[in-house]
Amino acid sequence: MNQTPDPRASEVADAEHELARLNARIEGMRAVLVRLLQDVVVAESRVGSSEAALLVEANEQLVVSALRAQTDAVTTALALDDMSQSAQLDPLTQLPNRALLRDRFEHAIANAKRHGTRTALLFLDLNDFKQINDKFGHAAGDQALKLAAQCLQVSVRETDTVSRHGGDEFVILLAEVSQAADAATIAEKLISALGTHRHIDEHVVRLIPSIGISMYPDDGEDPDTLINRADAAMYLAKRYEAGGIVFHGEKPRVERSLQPPTLDSLRQRLVYYARTMAEHEHRLAQLQEANEQLVLAALGVQEPQVAAEPVQRRDRVPGRGVRASRAINWQRSASRR
C-alpha cells in the first residue's frame, strides 16, 4: 500500500532545527558569561567602585538574557514534543496512526523473536459504513468512527494497540498471543461489542465489521507483509460473510453468494412466502372466530340482565316490595316442586 506523506513531518523537522539553533545560542552565551565573570573579577581589582558597579549591572543583564534564552529553549522543546506526539495520532479518533503502529509492530516482532512468542494483527473494516454518511451526513459518520474507536480500545488489553488505518478501517495489534484461537476470541469480542445498537443524535446505528487476521511468524516476519495479508483476509471475509472472521490462508466457513438469485431459489422463496401467508390467514381466521364467540357470549349474558331490569324497577316502587318478594319466593318454591 502507498503511504501518503505526513504533512506534519516538515513541522517536526523545522522545530528540531529551531531547537538546535537555540541550544547553540545558549552554549555561546554561557561561554561569554564565563569569560565576563572572569573579566569582572580582574576588573574589580583595578577600577574603583563606580566602574565595578557598572560591570555588575552589565553582568546581571547578561545573566537575565541567558535565562530567557534557556526558557525559550525549554518552551521550544516542549512544543516539539507535543508536535511529535500529535503527529503520531489520528486527528479524528486520537488513535495511533500508521507510523506509530508500525513502530510498535516492529517492537512487538522483535520481542516475539526474543521470547519465541506469537503476535497477531487484526485488520477491521466496517460494513456498509458509507450508508451512514449518505443517510445521516458526514458529521454522523465522524461520530460513528469515534464511537467505534472508543469501543475497540476498551475491548482489548492495555498492551495491545488500536490504530486507524484510514477511512472506516482499523488495525489492531495483539502484541502477544499464545495461539491463533486467542486472536479469534478477541475478534469475536470486537464484533459483539461493535454490534450493539448506538445512538448518534436522533439516529440509531449498528456497526458490523469484517475482520482479517494474520499471525507472526506463521504468515510473515515483517510488518508490511503481515498487514497486507490481514488486509487481504479482511476483504475475503467482507466478500463472503458480513461480520465474519477470516485468517490468512483460510477459506470462510459460510459463503455469501455475489451472484443474482436463480429461478429455482426465487420459486422456493415464493413457496415459502405463500406458505407463510396461508398460516397467517389461518391464524387470523381463528382469532376472528374466537372474537365472534366472545361477542355472542357477552350478548347472552346481557339478555337476562335486560329482562331483569323491569322487575327491578317494579321492586323499587313503594308498597310493592313485599308482593314482589312473595312472588319471587312462590316462583322458587314452584320450580322446586
Query: Residue 67 pLDDT more than 80?
Result: no
Q: Which of 125, 168, 219, 231 is catalytic?
A: 168
pLDDT of residue 176: 92
Give residue-wise pLDDT tens across range 234-265: 999 998 866 799 999 987 655 444 444 455 54
Lowest mean pLDDT, pick from 90-104, 197-211, 301-315: 301-315
- Omega of the bond leading into 310 within 30 degrees of 0 (cis): no
Torsion of CA 255, 256, 258, 262, to 10 degrees: 90
pLDDT > 70? residue 158: yes
HSE (side-chain half, CA atoms, 13 Å) at 57: 6
Q: Is the pLDDT of residue 125 over 70?
A: yes
CATH architecture under which domain 98-247 falls:
2-Layer Sandwich (3.30)
Grid cell of 229 as nine digits: 495479508
The pLDDT of residue 259 is: 46
pLDDT tens digits, 132-154: 989 999 999 999 999 999 999 99
Q: Which of 215, 1, 183 lies closest to 108 in space, CA to CA?
A: 215
Q: Are 148 and 92 in contact (CB under 8 A)?
A: no
The reported pLDDT for the residue numbered 21 is 83
Query: What is the SS3 assignment for 242?
Result: coil
> What integer best gives the mean pLDDT of the chain?
78
In angstroms, the CA 124 to CA 186 distance is: 12
| H or E element at residue 203 | strand 203-205
Nearest one of 111, 114, 142 to 126, comparing CA atoms? 142
How far apart (Å, rounded) are the C-alpha atoms in residues 216 and 192? 25
Q: Supply the pLDDT for residue 266.
A: 45
Assess contact for 160 and 126: CB atoms under 8 A. no
Q: What is the pLDDT of residue 14?
A: 73
- Residue-wise pLDDT for 3-37, tens only, equals 556 666 676 777 777 788 888 888 888 887 778 77
User: Exposure of 44 by Cβ count < 10 A (0-12 exposed, 13-18 middle, 19+ buried)?
Assistant: middle
More confident site: 44 or 2: 44
Domain borders along the chain are: 9-86, 98-247, 263-307
For 260-318, what is each residue's pLDDT tens digit?
Answer: 445 554 454 454 445 556 665 676 777 778 777 777 777 776 666 666 666 566 655 55
Active site residue 103: no
Backbone angles phi, psi at 258, to 5 degrees: -100, 0
Select from 172, 167, 198, 196 the least CA-distant residue to 184: 172
Q: What is the 3-state secondary structure (H, E, C) of 76-133?
A: HHHHHHHHHHHCCECCCCCCECHHHHHHHHHHHHHHHHHHCCEEEEEEEEECCHHHHH
Q: Which residues lie closer than 8 Å to 93 by C-beta, 6 or more apart? A: 145, 146, 149, 164
> What CA–CA distance (Å, rounded) separates 297 from 300?
5
